Amino acid sequence: MTAALQPPRGTAWLIGALVAAALFGNYYVYDSIGPVADLLQQQRGFSDSQVGLLNAIYSLPNIVLILVGGVLVDRFGAARMTLVTAAICLAGALLTAFSPNFTGMAAGRLLFGIGAETFSIATLAAIADYFGGRSLALAMGLALAIGRLGSFSADMSPTWFAAAYAQTWQQPLIIAAAIAATSFAASVVYWRVDRRPREAGLLPTGRTAEKLAWRDLLHFGRAYWYLLALCVLWYSVILAFRSTFSIKYFQHVHGLDLATAGQMNSYVFLAAVFATPAFGWLCDRFNRYAPFLAFGALLLPVALAVMALTHWSLWVSTALIGVSYSLVPAVMWPLASRLVAPSRFGTAIGLMWVAQNAGISGANLVAGWLNDRAGASAANPAGYAPMMEFFGIASMLGLLCALALWLTAGRRSHEKTVRV
| Segment 243-252 mean pLDDT | 87
Residue-level pLDDT at 347: 63
| Residue 265: pLDDT over 90 | no
Q: Which residue has the higher pLDDT, 241 or 64?
A: 241
| Residue 3: pLDDT over 50 | no
Alpha helices in 77-165 (DSSP H): 78-98, 102-131, 136-160, 162-165
DSSP 194-252: HHHHHHTTSS----PPPP--GGGGGG--HHHHHHHHHHHHHHHHHHHIIIIIHHHHHHH
The CA-based angle 143-98-147, given to 5 degrees, is 5
Mean residue pLDDT of the chain comes to 83
> Terminal CA-to-CA distance of the chain, rounded, Å?
30
Q: How far is 366 from 347, CA to CA, in rounded Å?
A: 29
Question: CB of 402 within 8 A of CB of 297?
Answer: yes
Where b means 16+ CB within 10 Å and e means fewer, 118-144 reads: bbbbbbbbbbbbbbbeebeeebbbbbb
Report pLDDT digits (tens) over 279-306: 766 766 777 778 889 999 999 999 999 9
Q: How far is 353 from 340, CA to CA, in rounded Å?
A: 16
Report pLDDT digits (tens) over 178-218: 999 999 999 999 999 988 877 666 665 544 444 555 565 56
Q: How far is 352 from 336, CA to CA, in rounded Å?
A: 10
Q: How far is 92 from 236, CA to CA, in rounded Å?
A: 23
| Residue 69: pLDDT over 80 | no
| Residue 341: pLDDT over 50 | yes
- Checking 385-394 for CB contacts under 8 A at 24+ apart, the result is 385/308, 387/245, 387/249, 388/249, 388/304, 388/307, 388/308, 389/308, 390/363, 390/366, 391/237, 391/240, 391/241, 391/304, 391/363, 391/367, 392/301, 392/304, 392/305, 392/308, 394/233, 394/236, 394/237, 394/363
Residue-level pLDDT at 200: 64
Q: Is the pTM of this model over 0.85?
A: no
Q: How far is 262 from 246, CA to CA, in rounded Å?
A: 9
How does residue 135 score in pLDDT terms, banded at 50, 70 and 90? low
Question: CB of 137 within 8 A of CB of 104?
Answer: no
Residue-level pLDDT at 2: 42
| Residue 164: pLDDT over 50 | yes
Reduced to 3 states (helix: H, G, I; strand: E, B; else coil), residue 377 is: coil
pLDDT over 70 percentage in the chain: 84
| Segment 115-122 mean pLDDT | 85
| Segment 317-344 mean pLDDT | 78
How does residue 361 score in pLDDT terms, banded at 50, 70 and 90? confident
Question: CB of 113 within 8 A of CB of 57?
Answer: yes
| Residue 384: pLDDT over 90 | yes
Residue-level pLDDT at 108: 94
How does residue 388 score in pLDDT terms, banded at 50, 70 and 90? very high
| Residue 45: pLDDT over 70 | yes
- What CATH number does domain 215-420 carry, 1.20.1250.20, 2.40.50.140, 1.20.1640.10, 3.40.50.2300? 1.20.1250.20
Question: CB of 399 within 8 A of CB of 273?
Answer: no
Residue-level pLDDT at 258: 84
Cα-flanking dihedrals φ and ψ of residue 201, to 5°? 80, 15
Residues in the chain: 420
Residue-level pLDDT at 209: 45
Residue-level pLDDT at 134: 60
Residue-level pLDDT at 77: 81
Q: How far is 7 from 21, CA to CA, in rounded Å?
A: 20
How does residue 261 score in pLDDT terms, banded at 50, 70 and 90? confident
CA atoms within a 13 Å half-sphere pointing along the CA-CB vector of 263: 10
Residue-level pLDDT at 38: 86
Q: How far is 414 from 138, CA to CA, in rounded Å?
A: 31
| Segment 370-375 mean pLDDT | 92
| Residue 138: pLDDT over 70 | no
| Segment 215-243 mean pLDDT | 85
How does residue 329 score in pLDDT terms, banded at 50, 70 and 90? confident
Residue-level pLDDT at 398: 95
| Segment 214-224 mean pLDDT | 71
Cα-flanking dihedrals φ and ψ of residue 61, to 5°? -65, -25
| Residue 223: pLDDT over 70 | yes
| Residue 414: pLDDT over 50 | no
What is the CATH class of 1-211? mainly alpha
Q: Which residue intervals of the chain bear CATH 1.20.1250.20? A: 1-211, 215-420
Residue-level pLDDT at 352: 82
| Residue 266: pLDDT over 60 | yes
7: DSSP letter:
P
Residue-level pLDDT at 415: 44
How does residue 351 score in pLDDT terms, banded at 50, 70 and 90? confident
As to burial, measured by CB atoms within 10 angstroms (0-12 exposed, 13-18 middle, 19+ buried), residue 342 is exposed
Q: How far is 371 from 377, CA to CA, in rounded Å?
A: 8
Window from 113-117, 294-298, 343-347 with minimum mean pLDDT: 343-347
